[in-house]
Amino acid sequence: MWRAGRHDIEVLKGEIDRSGYDVVIEADGVVRHIQLKSSFVGSKVREISVNAKLLAKPAGCVIWLEVDLHTLALKRYLWFGAGPGSGLPDIGSRVSHHSRANSAGYKPERPMHRLLSKSSFVAVSGANELIVRLFG
């Protein structure tokens, strides 16, 4: 953002991961609550769990980063969100489950989390396009 001449930036991070976002970025008067996800290029991950509390934020979005398994270099940005100032699009009603089973082998539901498929995301050409999607 600095290279693009955008210098009025604030980055905030919640102390507890329970509000639906990982980071809040404000730039040029636009505030974005961002949930970050990641996977390796070529991984079989086809859906992620999104915290439904993100829907309550005025301009929530999800950024899914695909990284190279060996170098950890960012290879692709995937975007799920709307324009600056617009709320998060519908995340559906498919409730996710915990990734680990309890002692009985049951994976309980996570009532405040919804499954969102990779096909719901838009591939973004790079950081510059991501910035435009985030802040206009």
Q: pLDDT tens-digit profile of 69-84?
A: 999 999 999 999 999 9
Rounded CA separation 71/68 (Å): 6
Q: Provide the pLDDT confidence category of residue 54 given band limits of 50, 70 and 90.
A: very high
* DSSP conformation class of 52: G
**pLDDT the model gives residue 73:** 92
Give me the mean pLDDT over the 112-132 stretch. 94
Q: Which amino acid is at 48?
A: I
**pLDDT the model gives residue 105:** 87
Q: Provide the pLDDT confidence category of residue 117 given band limits of 50, 70 and 90.
A: very high
Q: pLDDT tens-digit profile of 6-17?
A: 888 999 887 776
**pLDDT the model gives residue 14:** 79
- CA–CA–CA angle 30, 23, 41 (5° rounding): 110
Q: Which amino acid is at 25?
A: I
- Domain residue ranges in the chain: 9-135
Q: Give the full edge-to-edge strand order of the sheet including 95-97.
A: 47-51, 109-117, 95-97
Q: What pTM was computed for the model?
A: 0.89
- Name the E strands within 1-136: 9-12, 23-27, 30-40, 47-51, 60-67, 74-80, 95-97, 109-117, 122-124
The better pLDDT of the pair 4, 59 is held by 59
Q: Provide the pLDDT confidence category of residue 2 given band limits of 50, 70 and 90.
A: confident
| Token pair in block for residue 93 | 């009603």
Rounded CA separation 126/107 (Å): 36
| Token pair in block for residue 29 | 């008067």
**pLDDT the model gives residue 124:** 96
Mean pLDDT of the chain: 91
